[in-house]
Structure 1
């Protein structure tokens, strides 16, 4: 019984340590999850300071953190990411790009020159060989290999 009283007497120290740990993790991740957990810890600390039992402190902290994570975090993330450039970059920007076959593209390899000027090792996306000069479109990138398919002809008016 004396052990439980000691825990209840010094629970505020545990809450402070927990809050500080969550804040440090939040500074490293910048994802607002641990910020919400630290605010829940502040609620637990506040309930300790007004004399609530430890079990109630934990419940209050958990409920406050859960409500914040579910209700406040999503709009904060949307607001934070509102100014991001939606343009795909790096490998994602290559998917859908057109080009021409330089050397015969077989399931074992080949080369294509893309519209951005890059030359890539390529394989056919659907298994058919592609002859030099064929207009292609990149369907996916796997490592340093572009998987390509023949570009469909555009209907002329």
Structure 2
């Protein structure tokens, strides 16, 4: 059997191991085995095939792993749910004080309360949403 077939079998083995263990490094080793298979189709020199396998696999691991690690630690740029409502402006519909009130936020009517105990906002004024506490917007 030719060496390129063995490299393809190795790539398949790495692919199966990748699926079973979810270790992305195994996928990169599989790509290295595919590159070595391509070289094996051109030359019968096993040393060159192993060098290509090692170089391609190592290069992928050194380049892709830091990018993947960085993308896992960064928070998503798109906020959704109540996170998207923080910092938005709202229109006061009914007087808002430390205990009750109504605002129009993102096209919907919300119950609201003021952040400070002494703060109050009259209808028609603009407020900023500090946080969402249950179904109540805390504004200032």
TM-score with structure 2 setting the length: 0.48
TM-score with structure 1 setting the length: 0.43
